[in-house]
Structure 1
Amino acid sequence: MKRHFKLTTALLVLSAVLVGCNDSETAGKAPAGAGAGAERPPSPVSVVVMKKAEQPLTSLLPGRAAAFQVAEIRPRVSGIIKEIAFKEGNEVKEGTLLYKIEDDTYRAQVAQAEASLAKAEAGVPSAEANLARYERLVGSGATQIEFENAKVTLLQAKADVAEAKAALNAAQINLDLTEIHAPFEGVTSASNFSIGNVVTANQTDALTTLRRLDPIYIELTESSANLLRLKQAIAAGRMSDGDETADIKLTLEDGIEYPHVGKLDMSEMAVSETTGTYSIRAVFDNPDNLILPGMYVRATVTVGKENGYLIPQRAANRDARGELTAKFVNAEGVVETRTFAESAVSGNNWLVTEGIADGDKLIVDGFQWIGDGAPVAPVEATVDDKGFVVETPKAPETSPAAKP
């Protein structure tokens, strides 16, 4: 029995040795390319082929909206407010009645002035007749002094008439000023006075404020340092001056782009001593009163043009020194990072003039997970005008293989 156990054990050991030899032979016969197949294939990345062209240089400026016209409505005569004829906060047309002041006193002044004018006019015919009589009697009983006195009396009578007419005109003006009308089309604010309140001529407190909102002004600020750099670039011939009639685009506080474009209205020819900025004013159509005075906005202004290459903002980063960086696919098909010491803004892109050549491939999508030296498979793509969506052309469809 012991011999049987020893024989069984020997057979098991021999079987294990034979199996090991077979596995070794099988591994040795494995294809030599199996290890190479474990390497990762090149990662596909979306690229844009660079091409130099003249591009607009833009500047993103902060700004505030301001009414196109503003008028603080004040009374020009004193009295008690009899009527408020407008609805607060609504639009009114030019000439619309806003306030009515009690006019009894002013009507009485007009009547008194009319009576004074009638009295003055009544004295003119008598003075004219007296002058004519003395003129006939000069040299035959009337003295020259009497004739001269009659002439002066007529002149005084006519002067009294002119004075009475002026008084009547002033009284009529004051009567008309008891009605306060809108000087232009606009939107009213809340009324600061109520019916029955006493107001005085040219008082400090305004009755209400009228604002014209269509069109509307946008007051922008730009640093004087940027202005100097712009002038130096133009003087050096590196770029052309911006067109003052170029469109200006707005972005509202909620991030929505304003549908209307504006035009440059004026720029201040002085720099603020406290902030080091100068002011630019643009004018925009505002038919729906979407922009209200005091709103904060951001404006994209074209300040010039320069030849260079556009790098979409989505494809760029900033290093620790604040310099612009972007990743490219070089001639060997691997990733390399390029740094640009100088860059400018052109819409939703960065504009650079050095470090790129026509035909270079800029990685615009997929670069977040790859490093320098990594092999990649570039796929040409396009970036839309807003610089956010990458549209990759679809590969052409292939016909199915013919069946044998």
Structure 2
Amino acid sequence: MNRKRTVIIAALLILLSAGAYALRKFISRQAASGAGDFDSYGRPSGDAAPLRQAKLFQVRKAPFTDVVDGLIGTVKGDTIELAFGGQEEKLNSVHVSVGQKVDKGQILLELDHVRAESRKNQAEIALERAQRLQAVGGATLHDVKEAQAVLNVAQKDYEDTFIYSPKTGTISAIHKHVGETVGRSEVVVSLVSMEDKFYVETGVVEGQIDQVRSGQKAEIVIDSFAAHQIAGSVQGVSHEVSMTGRTGTVHISLPDYVQQKVRPGLSARCRIIVYSKNALVIPRKAYDDKKKGVMIVSEGNKTALKPVQLGYLTREFYEVASGLEGGEMIIADISSNPVEEGAEISAAGEPARYQGGSAE
């Protein structure tokens, strides 16, 4: 019985050894013929491991712009504040209303001028009397000149009870009502000149105001102007920010062809182009801040670090000042998909390209 068991065990061992030998010979022949991707121990060969995929970005020149967007403004003009220059009197008449267009020389307001007119009439009579007396030797030339000077003052006081429009424009505010007392040099009416050019006033937040400079191009849409985009330019910047909105004031000029079609107070939406250039552009995520470069992909699909000098920067894209050429392929996002230098990769889909504000 024991002898029979020993023979069976020996036979099984011989069969197992023969099987293992045959398997090794089969694997060796497959490896030699290239038909298999296994090593001599039957494990997948390292050369057969799948290539790592990565999204690529093709560098090329394109219009690269940066804008300060979402600005809300108001059409304004040069405001002229008008006041009476005479003595304190009650406001007698207001001949205009807010929003009314007025012509140069038109009477706008007048004070109670009964006393001023009376003084003027008395001065005229005194001058006539002095002139008659001088003619018969009863008064000197000095007396006549004094009477004339008194009349000049009375005439000026009378004229100061009226306010005339110094320019063609639009009444923007009236600060007094009929019957109220008005003092000398107290502003009573405001006029927006139509002889001077209208502009748009808007506010830019303090985080962006330093990017805005005079002469930069702007795009304006005035809501009541058929949503037509108007080309303007920055004509003035105040870097002193307000305490409430934390914004700096910016004035944007309006072209001549709209000057006669707009009026003060109209609402406008604006965007200011703070940078514009035809440049090589890369995604921000493609740039390695520590290594100061990008990972390019050569013809053999091997990666290599290439130093890059940057120009203008936005939140999403960087301008390439030097280091890259148009047509080169780079890893599009090394922040979330880090790739070692010298790695072999395959492209995950079509390469992205910069399309004026986005990568497509």
Aligned equivalents of 1:160, 1:108: Cα separation in 2: 21
Alignment of 1:260 with 2:230, yes or no, is: yes
* 2:296 and 2:330 in contact (8 A); partners too: yes
Give 1 or 2: higher helix fraction: 1
Quick one: structure 1 residues 284 and 200, their matched pair in 2 at CA, closer, same or farther if it must change by over 3 Å? same
User: Structure 1 residue 326: deviation in Å?
Assistant: 6.8
User: Counterparts of 1:220-231 in structure 2 under 5 Å?
Assistant: none
CA contact 1:63–1:221 (8 Å) conserved in 2: no
The corresponding residue for 2:179 is: 196
Gaps (5+ residues) in structure 1?
Answer: 1-27, 128-152, 228-241, 273-278, 391-404
The corresponding residue for 2:11 is none
Cα offsets for 1:26-75 (capped at 9, x unmatched): xx9xx969x99x99898796744434x9x889786999879552333322
- Counterpart-to-counterpart distance in 1, 2:217 and 2:230: 9
Deviation, 1:161, is 2.4
After superposition, the Cα gap between the structure-2 partners of 1:283 and 1:169, relative to the gap in structure 1 and judged at 3 Å, is: farther
Counterpart of 1:17 in structure 2 is none
Alpha-carbon distance in 2 for matches of 1:248, 1:200: 45
2:198 aligned residue: 214
Q: Do residues 126 (structure 1) and 107 (structure 2) align? A: no
8 Å CA contact 2:64–2:279 kept in 1: the answer is no
1:299 CA displacement = 3.5
Decide whether aligned partners of structure 1 residues 345 and 319 sit closer, same or farther in structure 2, where only a CA change above 3 A counts: closer
SS in structure 2 of the partner of residue 195 of structure 1: coil
> Is the contact made by 1:74 and 1:202 (CA closer than 8 Å) also made in structure 2?
yes
Report the counterpart of residue 161 of structure 1 in structure 2. 144
Distance 1:291 1:369 in 2: 52
Q: Alpha-carbon deviation of 1:328? A: 5.4
Conserved 8 A contact 1:330-1:361: yes
Match of 1:173 among 146, 156, 174: 156
Q: CA deviation at 1:370?
A: 5.6
Q: Is the 8 A contact 2:64 2:281 kept in 1?
A: no
Structure 2 stretches lacking a partner, 5+ long: 1-26, 28-34, 38-43, 241-247
Give the structure 2 partner of residue 136 of structure 1.
none
DSSP-derived class of the 2:126 partner: helix
> C-alpha displacement at 1:193, in angstroms?
1.8
Query: In 2, distance between residues paired with 1:88 and 1:342?
Result: 54
Distance 1:331 1:292 in 2: 61
The yes-or-no answer on 1:284 pairing with 2:268 is no
CA change 1:318–1:181 in 2 (3 A) is: farther
Match of 2:273 among 276, 279, 300: 300
Q: 2:67, 2:274 within 8 Å by CA — same for their partners in 1?
A: yes
Post-superposition CA distance 1:284-328 (Å, at most 9, x none)? 11746598699997643459x8x96333xxx32498979998775
Q: 1:382 to 1:56 in 2, by over 3 A?
A: closer
- The offset of 1:356, in angstroms, is 1.9
Q: Work out whether residues 81 and 197 of structure 1, in 8 Å CA contact, stay in contact via their aligned partners in 2.
A: yes
1:87 aligns with 2:65: no
With over 3 angstroms needed to count, the CA separation of the structure-2 counterparts of 1:361 and 1:64, relative to structure 1, is same
- The residue aligned with 1:105 is 115
Q: Deviations over 1:175-227 (max 9, x none)?
A: 22222133334444443321111112123xx323334571356788999xx89
Within the candidate set 375, 379, 399, 2:346 is matched to 375
2:358: which partner in 1? 388
Q: Do the aligned partners of 1:50 and 1:309 also contact (CA within 8 Å) in 2? A: yes
SS of the aligned residue for 2:120 comes to helix
Residue in 1 that maps onto 2:167: 184
Cα deviation for residue 348 of structure 1 reads 8.8
Residue number among 218, 237, 249 corresponding to 1:249 in the alignment: 218
Q: Is the 8 A contact 2:53 2:347 kept in 1?
A: yes
Q: Distance in 2 between matches of 1:249 and 1:124?
A: 70
Q: How many angstroms apart in 2 are the aligned matches of 1:321 and 1:380?
A: 22
Give yes or no for contact 1:317–1:324 (8 Å, CA) kept in 2: no
TM-score if structure 2 supplies the norm length?
Answer: 0.56
SS at match of 2:78: strand
Take 2:166 and 2:93, find their aligned partners in 1: how far apart are those partners? 18
Letter in 2 for 1:248: K
**Corresponding residue of 2:320:** 352
**In 1, distance between residues paired with 2:337 and 2:97?**
64
Structure 2 SS opposite 1:196: coil
Q: Equivalent residue for 2:329?
A: 361
> Which letter maps to 1:353?
A
The match for 1:231 is none
Number of positions where the alignment pairs a residue of Structure 1 with one of Structure 2: 293
Aligned to 1:76: 85
Task: After TM superposition, give the deviation of residue 115 of structure 1 in Å.
Answer: 0.6
Counterparts of 2:262 and 2:306, CA distance in 1: 47
Q: Structure 1 residue 248: deviation in Å?
A: 2.3
Contact 1:50 1:362 in 2 (8 A): no
Q: Find the aligned partners of 1:75 and 1:361 in 2 and give their Cα distance.
A: 73
Structure 1 residues 96 and 375: alpha-carbon distance in aligned structure 2, compared to 1, 3 A threshold: farther
C-alpha separation between the residues in 2 aligned to 1:349 and 1:163?
80
In the alignment, the residues of structure 2 paired with residue 50 and residue 346 of structure 1 have an alpha-carbon distance, to the nearest angstrom, of 17
State the distance in 2 between where 1:326 and 1:95 align. Answer: 69
Task: Give the Cα separation in 1 of the matches to 2:179 and 2:146.
Answer: 35
